Structures are given as structure tokens and as C-alpha cells.
């Protein structure tokens, strides 16, 4: 059982039915264009799987998005592959209508128990003062996800996310829960998959499905704004990687993630 | 069944026993310090799982290294999670002495069928002429893996890999099979996990176990040398990420990988 409470919605969405299974209610409150955000689905699976292991922190989580998930009833099934002294490993699947929609592997440990050399520490990007940034995506519509966060972006990138691209596959800014809840490790997936994609800044504005997303969890976040830095370095025939780095309000790197995505719009 | 033949050792190491299972012989020919290279173990699993799907190419593969694997008898078990029109997803486990030692998820597709916009394309690093580079790791001993490859590294990094670190967590150079076999996608994991780690260049020279390694496969490689570019951007309390990019002899990005590792030496 972890010490984290991502949020009441997520916890309450899971009803244990034993043997590492939960009945899950996929909330419609985390939709992008009517579809549940992939990071939200990862967080549901992460919160469930964390209840099966004694290690407090996820260290690395990979999810493959196998098929579409809809708001509504689902099942989460977690299997412990290893319970070790320093690490545990779990596999967890989200199942809807008898089909796996998201499958994940998670390695668990204790971030506070790590010890060893430190070396290069990736610093956060230099951003304008919060008061000089813009409020991020305004186009909500079927994107209930966006209502749950405050966003801040430099002006050029905020316009890029709204259809006036910068021409560089980079996006950065700040993000926090709109209701004031502090971020925790269980909520990292929604931040890692929640910022307007870097390929929007190339003008590929539209549906960009994620095939696979991997997160390395590096530190428990302090309360406050998270700083997000996104970039795609290689877009070829519609397939791209997106790298995301997340720092907390104390400038500690909380997580780095990479996804393989597809952009379906020219 | 894929069109690839990673190598005779790998193919011959797998004896199908039905129901997505193979008896496997983990070869002692791919050891680093007496322990099978993680990329070799991934390649074994990849070759096996590829026989269960109709899509020719891996697109994304993640492996979590659950426990130690030794040369000798093992079992590979693959489960098809989805057989789709454009994508398939498989889970595959390497089991030794009734314990899972490596667990992986793989999304499969057809790289030649991708179509969509192309944008930034990460270029290979600028390297000295091959004739001006050094031959890489010389200290073989219990590292049979090293004998199977030719390595070329700029002089400073070659010395760094042998104990005279540059102080920057970067390494690059070229790598190919020693026996002249061309690289293929099935062999990408051994290249992604085969170059001397970037943290060696910080002086952390020694055992650096991988917890998790994710590979994005981006193009089928042309024959010839592969160019490898490694960097670690964040080393904190012994935990690091290592990013690896691999280009073929035509300067096409073949793969990018990232691992979470631990360095156990100060």
C-alpha cells in the first residue's frame, strides 16, 4: 500500500474484488477530445498495482496502449512478478469489454533509500516569470482533462498549441492541479501525458495517439507548480518520440518520460 | 514469423514447445563479466515473440530486468495480447529455475507501411574518420560479448571506457558484428545495450545493472557500421538514465533507447 493519494476520483474509482483485481470506473472527467487521457489510465493502473507491493515508489513504468478505452466500467488486474528486498515488479492490465486496452510493467522501489554517486543533474529550462506567461489551452470542448489543471506557457508556445505553430518541436511551461492538490508520484503520468504535444508546434495539430509511454520516476515532488519540458527529436512518416521532463517547485527532476506516438494529421 | 535472422546462435537457442513457449539455451558467448548481456536476453525474447505475430517489425520494446539470468537452460513464454490490423502487442517472459528473470512488452507493426509527416530527424554525431578512432574495450576476460563486435571510439572516450574518464557522461562511436554479419532489427537490443556505458566517462567504472530498457525501432538498418551515441543526463544517488541513439551506415536513425540503470561504484 503506497502512501500516495493521487486523488479521490482515482482512489474511489477502484473497488477491490480480490486476487489482484479491481472493478474500475473510468471517469469522464479526464478526457481529451472525449477520450480518456492515457496518463490518467496509467495512473489508475499505477494506484491499483501499488496496493499489491510493499515498496512505496514506482521507479519505472511502461504502458502499451493496446486499444481504445472509454469512460465507464473496466477491470484492472495486477500480477506481482517479483517481490524482492530492494525492488518489486508488477504487470498490470486495464480490461474493458473483455479486451486489454492498456498493458503495463512497473518496477517499484524506495526513492528515499537510494544511495550512490550523483553527477550531471538535468536542470529545468529557463522560463519567463509566471505573470508573463499565458494560460495554455483554451479550447476545452470535449476535453474535460484540461479543466482539471492550470497551465502556463510562453506566449509563442501557447499560440502554437492553439494552431499558430512555432515550427520547432518543443513545448514547455508549468502545470498544476486546478483545485490546489499537490502533485504526487501517482499523478505523474497525467502530467507526463498532459501538456499539449510538441508536434503541435510543427502544425500537426490534432489526434496524436500514444503507442507506448515509459516514465522514470526520480524524486517525490514538493508541492507547487511543476515545470514541464517537451521535445520531439525525430518525426518520420508520422511516427515520433516525445521526451518529457518534469521538475518540482524546488527544481528537482521528478520524472522523465518518453512516448512513441503517431500523428495522423499532416 | 519475421524476416529477420539475428544470428544462428539466437535462432538455434530456441526450441519451440508449443503454446507460445520455447526451451531456450542462454549462450555464454554474450557475457559481460560472466553475466549475459541484457540486450542479448532481450533479443532472444524478441526473436521468439516475433514468431507469434504476423507484423514484421518491432516498434517498441520494454524489458524489466527482474533478476539475474545465467548462461544455460531457460524458458521463453510469449503471450499475444492483441492481433490487430496495423499493430500487434505481445508480452514475453524469460524464465529460469521457475523464476521470471526478464519480462517484456513489445508492440509490432510494419515500418515500411508507415505514412505521415516527417519533421525533425535527429542526425548522427560527427565522428572522426574510422582510421582515426581507437578500437574500444580491450579488457575482455569474462566478457565474451566484446569479442563478437568491432568497436571504434574517439581516443578520449576509448580511454574513458578503460578507466581514464573524460568527466562528461557521453560516449559515442561505431559498432558492428565482428564476423561481418549485417545488423538487423532483431539485433538492435545488443547494440543498444552493448557500448561501454556513458557513466564510465564519469569514473564510475564497474557493474551498472539495468532495471529497465525501452527501445523504439525506427528503421530497418542498412548493412555496415552502426553509429552509436550515448548520454546520461541525470545521475542521482546512483540511479541514472542512459539514452542511446543508433544510426545505420546510410545515416538513418535505426533506433533510440533509454534505460534506467544503477551504478554501484563511486
Rounded to the nearest integer, the mean pLDDT of chain B is: 92
pLDDT score, position B188: 97
Please state the domain extents for chain A: 8-111, 130-262
pLDDT score, position A15: 92
Q: Which one of B91, B232, B234 has the shortest CB-CB distance to A218?
A: B234
pLDDT-derived band at B3 (thresholds 50, 70, 90) equals very low
- Residue B252: Cβ-neighbour burial (10 angstroms; 0-12, 13-18, 19+): middle
B8-110: CATH, from 2.40.160.210, 1.10.10.10, 3.40.50.300, 3.40.630.30: 2.40.160.210
pLDDT score, position A218: 98
Neighboring chain B residues of A81 at a CB cutoff of 8 Å: 64, 66, 100, 103
Q: A91 vs B103: CB contact, 8 Å cut-off?
A: yes
Residue A4 pLDDT greater than 50, yes or no? no
Query: How far from chain centre, in Å, is Cα A103?
Result: 15
pLDDT-derived band at B118 (thresholds 50, 70, 90) equals very high
For the domain A8-111, what is the CATH code?
A: 2.40.160.210
Selected residues 107-136 of chain A with any CB under 8 Å from a CB in chain B = 107, 114-122
d(CA A28, CA B40): 43
φ and ψ of A137, to 5 deg: -60, 130
Instruction: Summarize pLDDT for B131-161 with one digit per residue, the tens.
Output: 999 987 766 678 899 989 999 999 999 887 6
Residue A5 pLDDT greater than 60, yes or no? no
Low-confidence winner among A112-126, A145-159, B153-167 (lowest mean pLDDT): B153-167
Residue A259 pLDDT greater than 90, yes or no? yes
Q: A64 vs B105: CB contact, 8 Å cut-off?
A: yes
Antiparallel, parallel or unpaired: β B239-247 and B72-83: unpaired
DSSP letter string, B121-149: BPPPPP---GGGSB------TT-HHHHTE
Selected residues 166-195 of chain A with any CB under 8 Å from a CB in chain B = 169
Percentage of residues of chain B with pLDDT beyond 90: 81
Please give the residue of chain A at the shortest CA–CA distance from B217: A260
- Residue B153 is given by DSSP the state B
CATH class in words for A130-262: mainly beta
Mutation site, B84, B86, B211, B236, interface A, largest A CB count within 10 A: B236
d(CA B49, CA B66): 19
Residue A1 pLDDT greater than 60, yes or no? no
Low-confidence winner among A105-109, A137-141, B235-239 (lowest mean pLDDT): A137-141
pLDDT score, position B208: 87
d(CA A259, CA A3): 27
- Domain B8-110 matches domain B133-262 at the CATH topology level: yes
Chain A closest-CA separation from residue B18 CA (Å): 23
Helix (H, G, I), strand (E, B) or coil at A45: helix
- Residue with more model confidence, B11 or A153: A153
The closest alpha carbon to B148, from B27, B230, B261, belongs to B27
Residue A169 pLDDT greater than 60, yes or no? yes
The closest alpha carbon to A47, from A64, A61, A66, A32, belongs to A61
Please give the residue of chain A at the shortest CA–CA distance from B61: A212
pLDDT-derived band at A142 (thresholds 50, 70, 90) equals confident
* Grid cell for residue A23: 472493478
Instruction: Summarize pLDDT for B184-232 with one digit per residue, the tens.
Output: 999 999 999 999 999 999 998 888 899 999 999 999 999 999 999 999 9
pLDDT score, position A206: 81
pLDDT-derived band at B164 (thresholds 50, 70, 90) equals confident
pLDDT score, position A3: 41
Backbone CA torsion sign across A97, B87, A243, B174: positive
pLDDT score, position B142: 83
Residue A244 pLDDT greater than 50, yes or no? yes
Residue B4 pLDDT greater than 70, yes or no? no
For the domain B133-262, what is the CATH code?
A: 2.40.160.210
pLDDT score, position B140: 67
Instruction: Summarize pLDDT for B21-41 with one digit per residue, the tens.
Output: 999 999 998 999 899 999 999
pLDDT score, position B160: 78
The closest alpha carbon to B104, from B49, B57, B35, B54, belongs to B49
pLDDT-derived band at A7 (thresholds 50, 70, 90) equals low
Helix (H, G, I), strand (E, B) or coil at B28: helix
Neighboring chain B residues of A218 at a CB cutoff of 8 Å: 234, 236, 239
Q: Span B229-239, mean pLDDT? A: 97
Residue B174 pLDDT greater than 80, yes or no? yes
Instruction: Summarize pLDDT for A20-49 with one digit per residue, the tens.
Output: 999 999 999 899 989 999 999 999 999 999
Please give the residue of chain A at the shortest CA–CA distance from B121: A234
pLDDT-derived band at B237 (thresholds 50, 70, 90) equals very high
Percentage of residues of chain B with pLDDT beyond 70: 94
Query: How far from chain centre, in Å, is Cα A169?
Result: 19
d(CA A154, CA B33): 49
Give the list of residues 6+ apart from residue B126 with CB closer than 8 angstroms, or none: none
Instruction: Summarize pLDDT for B79-108 with one digit per residue, the tens.
Output: 999 999 999 999 999 999 999 999 999 999
H/E element, B104: strand B99-109
d(CA A49, CA A2): 10
Are B151 and B174 in contact, with CB atoms under 8 Å apart?
yes
pLDDT score, position B11: 64
Q: How many helices (H) and strands (E) does chain A have?
A: 5, 15
Instruction: Summarize pLDDT for A76-87 with one digit per residue, the tens.
Output: 999 999 999 999
Amino acid at each position: 500500500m503506497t502512501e500516495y493519494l493521487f486523488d479521490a476520483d482515482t482512489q474511489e474509482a477502484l473497488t477491490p474484488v480480490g486476487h489482484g483485481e479491481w472493478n474500475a470506473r473510468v471517469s469522464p472527467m479526464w478526457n481529451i477530445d472525449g477520450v480518456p487521457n492515457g496518463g490518467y489510465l496509467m495512473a489508475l493502473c499505477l494506484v491499483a498495482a501499488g496496493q499489491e507491493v510493499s515498496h512505496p515508489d514506482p521507479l519505472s513504468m511502461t504502458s502499451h496502449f493496446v486499444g481504445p478505452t472509454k469512460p465507464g466500467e473496466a477491470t484492472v488486474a495486477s500480477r506481482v512478478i517479483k517481490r524482492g528486498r530492494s525492488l518489486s515488479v508488477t504487470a498490470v492490465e486495464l480490461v474493458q469489454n473483455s479486451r486489454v486496452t492498456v498493458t503495463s510493467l512497473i518496477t517499484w522501489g524506495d526513492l528515499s533509500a537510494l544511495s550512490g554517486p550523483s553527477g550531471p543533474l538535468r536542470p529545468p529550462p529557463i522560463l519567463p516569470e509566471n505573470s508573463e506567461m499565458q494560460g495554455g489551452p483554451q479550447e476545452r470542448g470535449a476535453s474535460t482533462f484540461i479543466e482539471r489543471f492550470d497551465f502556463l506557457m510562453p506566449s509563442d508556445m501557447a499560440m502554437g498549441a492553439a494552431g499558430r505553430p512555432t515550427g520547432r518541436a518543443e513545448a514547455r511551461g508549468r502545470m498544476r492541479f486546478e483545485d490546489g492538490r499537490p502533485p504526487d508520484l501517482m499523478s505523474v503520468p497525467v502530467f507526463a501525458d498532459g501538456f499539449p504535444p510538441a508536434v503541435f508546434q510543427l502544425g500537426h495539430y490534432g489526434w496524436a495517439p500514444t503507442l507506448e509511454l515509459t516514465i522514470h520516476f526520480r524524486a517525490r515532488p514538493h508541492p507547487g507548480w511543476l515545470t514541464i519540458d517537451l521535445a520531439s527529436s525525430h518525426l518520420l512518416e508520422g511516427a515520433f518520440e516525445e521526451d518529457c521532463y518534469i521538475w518540482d517547485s524546488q527544481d528537482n527532476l521528478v520524472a522523465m518520460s518518453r512516448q512513441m506516438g503517431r500523428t495522423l494529421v499532416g
